[in-house]
Amino acid sequence: MTMTDPTETILRLLLGAVLGGIIGFERQSHGRPAGFRTHLIVSLASVLIMIVSDDFYRMSTLNPEIIRIDPARIAAGAITGVGFLGAGVIIKSGLTIQGLTTAACLWIVSVIGLAVGSGLYVPALTAFSITFFSLWILRRVEVMVPRLTYKILALTTEPIVKEEDVIRVLKEAGADIANIDYEMDRTKNELTYHLSITFKNKKVISTILERFSELSYIKRFHLRG
């Protein structure tokens, strides 16, 4: 057994960079922190790691005095490293979590790179095609599917306002109440409700804001999530 042919090595590195770069470009076009260059470098590094791992294994088989190594161990270390990189792009803001798709892209790009580095072109190209399809085509389908939205509503009212009145206004606007807490401030003579609400229609937000703006007993309200 011999070392990987230099031409084959260059081909694998270029292919890995191209596949990773294309997926990274899609992420960058949507304003994600890990974009074109990050995905390209992750894929390129994975290809190189697999080539080095494979060549180390071939060298050990040529010389019986060298302890044989498991080529999968270096690849496993690469996947672990990408896991830390992926965790860095996940951001939690209120009830919203962003970056999960980008983290998954970094992971699959790394695996695609390892496949290319091993010379497994068909599995690598198949995985790339499915990933590209899910990011570009299924994204448009996903937008058309109604999704349940979660929001936190902080509502400050006069103490005479009943909980039933607040719930009624929200239900008439098209929102469902998942949880409700409230606190009383006797110094300011205010009652503050903290509600977790859910809805599917985005117009519900404007309806809620409009309804509460019309009610005189509502002192202030804040919607986040």
Residue spans per domain, the chain: 6-144, 149-224
Of 4-8, 88-92, 174-178, the range with the lowest mean pLDDT is 88-92
- Rounded Cα distance between 46 and 199, Å, is 42
Q: What is the mean pLDDT of residues 136-148?
A: 75
Which pLDDT belongs to residue 208? 83
pLDDT of residue 66: 57
Strands (E), the chain: 91-93, 96-98, 149-157, 176-185, 190-199, 218-224
pLDDT tens per residue, range 57-77: 776 666 666 556 666 677 777
Calpha distance 225→210 (Å, rounded): 19
The per-residue pLDDT for 128 is 92
Give just the sign of the alpha carbon dihedral 24, 25, 30, 35. positive
Give CATH for domain 149-224: 3.30.70.260
Q: What was the pLDDT predicted at 18? A: 92
What is the average pLDDT score of the chain?
Answer: 81
Task: Return the number of other C-beta atoms located less than 10 Å from residue 221's C-beta.
Answer: 18
pLDDT for position 19: 92
Q: Is the pLDDT of residue 1 over 50?
A: no
Percent of the chain with pLDDT over 70: 86
Segment 161-185 shows an average pLDDT of 85
Q: What is the mean pLDDT of residues 118-126?
A: 89
Q: What is the pLDDT of residues 78-112, one digit of tens each?
A: 778 888 877 887 776 665 677 888 888 888 898 89
What is the predicted pLDDT for the residue at 15?
93
Between 18 and 164, the more confident residue is: 18
